[in-house]
Amino acid sequence: MTAEALRKDPDAAGGPSAILSAHHLVKNFPIRSKGLLRRQIGAVQAVSDVSFELGHGETLGLVGESGCGKSTTARLVLNLIPATSGQVFYDGKDLTTLSGKAMRTLRQDLQSVFQDPFASLDPRMPINEIIAEPLRIHGRYDDGGRQQVQDLLRTVGLKPEHGNRFPHEFSGGQRQRIGVARALALRPKVLVLDEPVSALDVSIQAGVLNLLDELQTELNLSYLFVSHDLSVVRHIADRIAVMYLGKIVETGTSDELFDGSAHPYTQALISAIPLPDPRKERARERITVVGDVPSPADPPSGCRFRTRCPKFAGELNDTERARCTDEEPALTVRDIGHPVACHFARRRQMI
Amino acid sequence: MTGTEDYLADTAVSRNGASGEVVLEVTDLTVGFPSDDGLVEAVRGVSYQLRSGEVLGIVGESGSGKSVTSLAVMGLLPGNARVTGSVKFRGRELIGAKESELNSVRGRNVAMIFQDPMTSLNPVYSVGYQVAEAVRAHQKVGRAEAMNRAAELLELVRIPNPRQRLENYPHELSGGMRQRVVIAIAMANDPDVIIADEPTTALDVTVQAQIMESLHFAQEQTGAAMILITHDLGVIAGQADRVMVMYAGKPVETGTVEDIFYTPRMPYTFGLLGSLPRLDRISGRLTPIPGAPPAVVNMPPGCPFTPRCPLSVAVCEEEEPVLEQTTGPGHLAACHRSDMLVGKSPGDVFETTVVDTEALAQFVQTTEEHS
């Protein structure tokens, strides 16, 4: 990120409204050579300098295609994998420097729900035990834990008498509710939701989304909602950050992004999603990108999107292109109204 | 869906009227698989006609029988499947036909595109070989000529540097490229029908848009009719002329794409549309359909949607409704209560609350005490 953004930074270390904030998070995964020595010969730059803030009771949607680093970001935020550099602040504390013990205490406040409800629930444990596990780990089960588990099951719309059943006896949507109940057991303040509805059929997905919605309203939870599905994110998020190849390319409120996104990638992403409305869908103007996402082990110089950018390919002249190739665009407000990382950003209504 | 109950002639979206000749006719198709618990009735009576140049979208949730239907059409089901009914390609019966006869139709007259290109391409042959193989299977041409044709096909589906790509193996290509190769194979023999089963589900959205474009192009180039199977109603809205909604192995509603999206007459379709988060407007609460699709073993009598249906009455549990005409001649729905949906929005019919509000209130209270 640029010097300007850095200068703004010191006072951003968990501003008054933010419950959780990330500052210049970087995560490189080493690529090692074959053979005995396994020397490091490169790095997959999964997350490169990502900063954001999450407010109390707010939902921040992190969207992007596979390999853009959104899930890695979520893991970094929870300190499930160590960051290469950068900080994550929760409640004034930098999570990246905390000891294991201190982190464990904080985990009560930061919980997560994973994508695949078939893989994230232990198949050999009855539901009661799955939900009780976090309470036991944190020594809170003896204090009426049994009752709490039953209440949790009712809260997420399941029947307490189902508690003795095993995960395979439930449908995908019900399993995801069990995952939510487990995440809620410690009464957290922040939930990191990594593609929580992607594995579900739409009619089931809607139920889980409504559940998350109601829980947030009642419990004033903050959600970091990671998804590849812009429609879902629009529905649930207050603010959205769009990621491409390890960087946030545009961020703003849900309305700002959908009423006039300014980054060509966001525009392409929005325009690629088919609307379930035949007349509107067939009347839409489309921006299509060509090719596939480049390898994060060797990202393009300058703007990382330039190799697929319709603007770069079609609208810009040679000097403008040179700027895209040589100079990395900073994520700043420009004259757009919300931060966008494109030298030639222009708002455009895509729906 | 209030406010959309109009039929504006000038906004008709069908690209092709139902004027072409019938290329594929499916009548009363059923597919069952014997299991320890009884016969799994995966498909319980599907009938449709497909005319040349037309795109028929088949929608449904997982387990609704939409894929099995098309596998039965192609004769690709495993040996233990019990298939009855009739599938006629230009008057030729395919059910019960000999393998050699099926082979002359499969790939030439009816081509299929599967969901996962990594499993539908052979990892140990180059893509050029595989495209050329499809050409040589049905046309009398030499190796070199078939390779040339393969390069042309790859170019048609917009693979850059097609000549060099011929040498590549599937693992060297990205997911989008692989699916293009599969589309090229489907186009190889200028088929009359292309069956695309979730062709874009495994792909990222921007790649999905490219593939849909290629598919559309392939269909136009070959003039083929297409069966597009997907759970994505957005894709259906953009591509299909007619739509068939399937539930528990049966079509529950069919009609033009406008009928289905603007005046649905079956509560399942209704709920499905209401459960979609929308990109084009701020949606309030979504309308999830409660419960889960039924197991298709030993099904009870009556409409299979009854346990999930907010409109169900006694008759729904006793008698399974048949497809009947609703808003127009081509718009059929299988529902005893379809009149109840006139002028309603999904929110009027379905509950949006999914939690036990009492339990939640209690939970909130204890949380506050706790902190």
- Cα–Cα dist B183/A211, whole Å: 40
Whether the per-residue pLDDT at A93 is higher than 50: the answer is: yes
Report whether A113 contacts A179 (CB < 8 A): yes
CB contact (8 A) between residue A201 and residue B234 = no
Encoded tokens for A74: 């979520």
pLDDT exceeds 70 at position A172:
yes
B360 or A163, greater pLDDT: A163
Per-window interface: A 30-59 vs B, CB < 8 A: none
What rounded mean pLDDT belongs to chain A? 89
Position B182 scores a pLDDT of 93
Residue length, chain B?
371
Please give the pLDDT value at position B175.
Answer: 86
Output the CA torsion sign for B144, B145, B151, B153: negative
Distance (Å, whole) CA B232 – CA B272: 11
Option in A202, A286, A292 nearest B207 (CB): A292
Cross-chain CB nearest to B204 (options A65, A271, A277) = A65
CB contact under 8 A, A210 and B354: yes
Cα dihedral B207, B209, B213, B215 sign: positive
Angstrom distance (rounded) from CA B239 to CA B61 = 19
Contacts of A209 in chain B (CB under 8 A): 277, 286, 288
Q: Which two tokens stand for residue A304?
A: 């990382």
Question: Who contacts A133 (Cβ-Cβ below 8 Å, separation ≥6)?
Answer: A125, A182
pLDDT at B371: 64
What pLDDT does residue B8 have? 36
Write b or e for each residue in B271-284: b if 16 or more Cβ atoms lie within 10 A of its Cβ, otherwise e: bbbbbbbbbbeebe
**Nearest residue in chain A measured CA to CA from B283:** A235
Per-residue tokens: A18: 């933010």
Asked if the C-beta of A151 comes within 8 angstroms of chain B's C-beta atoms, the answer is yes
Percentage of the residues of chain A whose pLDDT score is greater than 90: 67
Apex B182 CA angle, B205 and B168, nearest 5:
100
What's the pTM? 0.87
Give how far Cα B73 sits from Cα of A299, B83, B87, B102, Å: 46, 10, 6, 10
Angle between helices B205-222 and B175-187 (to 10 degrees): 10
Q: Which residues of B touch A234 (CB under 8 A)?
A: 277-279, 282
Count the Cβ atoms, other than its own, within 10 Å of residue A210: 23
Amino acid identity of residue A36, one-letter, is L
> What does each of the 371 residues of chain B score in pLDDT, given as a tens digit?
333 333 333 333 444 444 678 999 999 999 999 998 889 999 999 999 999 999 999 998 888 999 899 999 999 999 899 999 999 999 999 998 899 999 999 989 999 998 887 888 999 999 999 999 999 999 999 999 999 999 999 998 888 899 999 999 999 988 889 999 999 999 999 999 999 999 988 788 888 888 998 898 888 888 899 999 998 999 999 999 999 999 999 999 999 999 999 999 999 999 999 999 988 877 678 888 888 888 888 888 899 999 999 999 999 999 999 999 998 889 999 999 998 888 888 888 888 776 777 788 888 888 777 66
The predicted pLDDT at position A285 comes to 84
At residue B19, the pLDDT reads 61
Q: Are strands B55-59 and B242-247 parallel, antiparallel or unpaired?
A: parallel
By the 10 Å C-beta count (0-12 exposed, 13-18 middle, 19+ buried), A164 is classed as exposed
Mean residue pLDDT of chain B comes to 88
Given a cut of 60, whether residue A7 has pLDDT beyond it is no
Q: State the average pLDDT over residues A108-126.
A: 90
Q: How far apart are the first and last CA of chain B?
A: 44
DSSP β-bridge partners for residue A31: A42
A297 contacts chain B (CB < 8 A): no
Q: Cα dihedral angle (A11, A12, A13, A15), rounded to 10 degrees? A: 100
**Res. A123: pLDDT tops 60:** yes
pLDDT given for residue B220 in this prediction: 87
In the stretch 284-313 of chain B, residues with CB closer than 8 A to chain A read: 285-290, 292
**Contact list, A280 vs chain B (CB under 8 Å):** 280
Q: Which residue has the higher pLDDT, A133 or B367?
A: A133
pLDDT at position A125 over 90: yes
Pairing of strands B242-247, B250-256: antiparallel
Q: Whole-angstrom Cα distance, residue A14 to residue B153?
A: 56
Does the beta carbon of A197 lie under 8 angstroms from any beta carbon of chain B? Answer: no
| Most A-contacting residue of B161, B236, B363 (CB-CB within 10 A), to test interface | B363
The predicted pLDDT at position B2 comes to: 39
* pLDDT for residue B7: 36
The answer to whether A276 contacts B207, with C-beta atoms less than 8 Å apart, is: no
Minimal C-alpha gap between A22 and chain B (Å): 25
